[in-house]
Amino acid sequence: MTVLINRLAIIGVGLIGGSLVRALREAGAVKSVVGIGRSLPNLEDALSLGICDDITQDPAEGVRGADVVFISVPVCAIPGVVAEIVQFLTPGCIVTDGGSVKTAIVSECEPLMPSGCFFVGGHPIAGTEHTGAAASFATLYRGRRCILTPTERTNAAALELVSSMWKLTGADVCFMEPGHHDRIFAEISHLPHMAAYALVHAVGTADVEGENVLSYTAGGFRDFTRIASSDPAMWRDIALMNKNALLKSIDGFSTSMAELRRRIEAGDGAALSEFFTISKQFRDGII
Ligand code: NAP
């Protein structure tokens, strides 16, 4: 395999950044990797697990000489991280990210790039509820989509390299306008996380004659609410950064819940069956 990236800098060596490196190493696509982060224990994990060759807590030092910088910190922190590193980038450097929200990140980061350096927005559609370098694994992206969100300012060669990088992880790369991405993922990812957090909150605080209701949970509740164990800081950032699209999705969900409530209150079995049948058909149709 020909080396695609000589020096890769990862800012935020967690599940997403660590898994990218592991996959690229397996593909023989990267020569050396520097991990950049805030906490030393996580960086030391990344070093001892063989994810990174070098580690540093100093972003300026870390990005020096890198031909690609991948940023995988919580979304609200991404523009600040880019602002902090731009003056230390090597000419020709490509900066890209894995953040789950794209409009705000792309519109804030693109104008920060110095002449001769390029920004490409990205979002791999893969993850787990676990965090940190130790949670990363090489097959995370295999057979999963990775969405790149180019704009009219995006450099074609930079886009091509980032696309090749993701293909080498086993991901299927597709392209989307940032706003379109944010509306789709508000529905399909951000709303379900909000619903899971809200459901667990409601049940966890429910008062049924002083019983700990959660001690009775079984398979269905656990399956449905697994994603409520996701990192609160990550989801706080996503909710804040994709606010407008997410509020619309929450409104749509509230309308559905109100309709369901109305049919239950009316004791209308036929209407309830119709509601559940339509939902089941949508669910069964997911491949
Ligand atoms: P993670 O495992 O917690 O890793 C995040 C990393 O960012 C950690 O190494 C953390 O290390 C660092 N970090 C945290 N807060 C920071 C801050 N304010 N400034 C600078 N660094 C910070 O999380 P992840 O799951 O890899 O998520 C990273 C990004 O990928 C997020 O933007 C998320 O939206 C996106 N994403 C996640 C998933 C998913 O399912 N998990 C899927 C697709 C995309 P230190 O605390 O040591 O700095």
pLDDT tens-digit series, residues 8-67? 999 999 999 999 999 999 999 999 999 999 999 999 999 999 999 999 999 999 999 999
- C-alpha angle 245-246-250 in degrees, rounded to nearest 5: 125
pLDDT of residue 59: 98
Estimate the share of the chain in helix, then strand, then coil, as percent rounded to the nearest 5: 55, 15, 30
Whether pLDDT at 117 is above 90:
yes
Task: Please list, in sequence order, all residues whose beta carbon lies within 8 angstroms of the beta carbon of residue 204, skipping any fewer than 6 positions away.
Answer: 213, 214
Q: Whose CA is nearest to atom 12 of ligand 1?
A: 12
Give the Cα separation of 251 and 231 in Å (integer).
Answer: 24
Tokens linked to 90 = 């090597």
Q: Whose CA is nearest to atom 47 of ligand 1?
A: 39
The answer to which of 1-15, 236-250, 267-281 has the lowest mean pLDDT is 1-15
| pTM: predicted TM-score of the whole model, two decimal places | 0.94
172: three-class secondary structure by DSSP: strand
**253 Cα: distance to centroid of ligand 1 (angstroms):** 28
DSSP assigned state of 100: S
Ligand 1 binding pocket includes 199 (Cβ within 6 Å)? no
**2 Cα: distance to centroid of ligand 1 (angstroms):** 29
pLDDT of residue 129: 86
pLDDT of residue 1: 67
Q: Whose CA is nearest to atom 21 of ligand 1?
A: 73
Tokens linked to 146 = 């990775």
**70 Cα: distance to centroid of ligand 1 (angstroms):** 12
Q: Whose CA is nearest to atom 33 of ligand 1?
A: 99
**212 Cα: distance to centroid of ligand 1 (angstroms):** 33
**pLDDT single digits (tens) 123-151:** 999 999 899 999 999 999 999 999 999 99
- Give the number of other Cβ atoms within 10 Å of residue 168's Cβ: 20
**183 Cα: distance to centroid of ligand 1 (angstroms):** 22
Give the Cα separation of 7 and 1 in Å (integer).
Answer: 16
Ligand 1 binding pocket includes 75 (Cβ within 6 Å)? yes
Ligand 1 binding pocket includes 21 (Cβ within 6 Å)? no
Q: Whose CA is nearest to atom 35 of ligand 1?
A: 99
**pLDDT single digits (tens) 54-102:** 999 999 999 999 999 999 999 999 999 999 999 999 999 999 999 999 9
**pLDDT single digits (tens) 186-196:** 999 999 999 99
Give the Cα separation of 153 and 159 in Å (integer).
Answer: 11
Whether pLDDT at 2 is above 90:
no
- Give the number of other Cβ atoms within 10 Å of residue 64's Cβ: 17
| Residue whose C-alpha is closest to residue 187's, from 256, 113, 132 | 256
What is the fold, at CATH topology level, of the domain defined by 5-176?
Answer: Rossmann fold (3.40.50)
Residues of the chain above pLDDT 70, percent: 100
Task: Identify the CATH assignment for 180-284 out of 1.10.3660.10, 3.30.465.10, 3.30.70.20, 1.10.10.10.
Answer: 1.10.3660.10
Q: Delimit the domains of the chain by residue range.
A: 5-176, 180-284
Ligand 1 binding pocket includes 74 (Cβ within 6 Å)? yes
Average pLDDT over residues 227-235: 95
Ligand 1 binding pocket includes 79 (Cβ within 6 Å)? no
Q: Whose CA is nearest to atom 14 of ligand 1?
A: 73
Give the Cα separation of 116 and 158 in Å (integer).
Answer: 11
Shortest-distance atom of ligand 1 to CA 124 = 43
Ligand 1 binding pocket includes 231 (Cβ within 6 Å)? yes
**Mean pLDDT over each residue of the chain, to the nearest integer:** 97
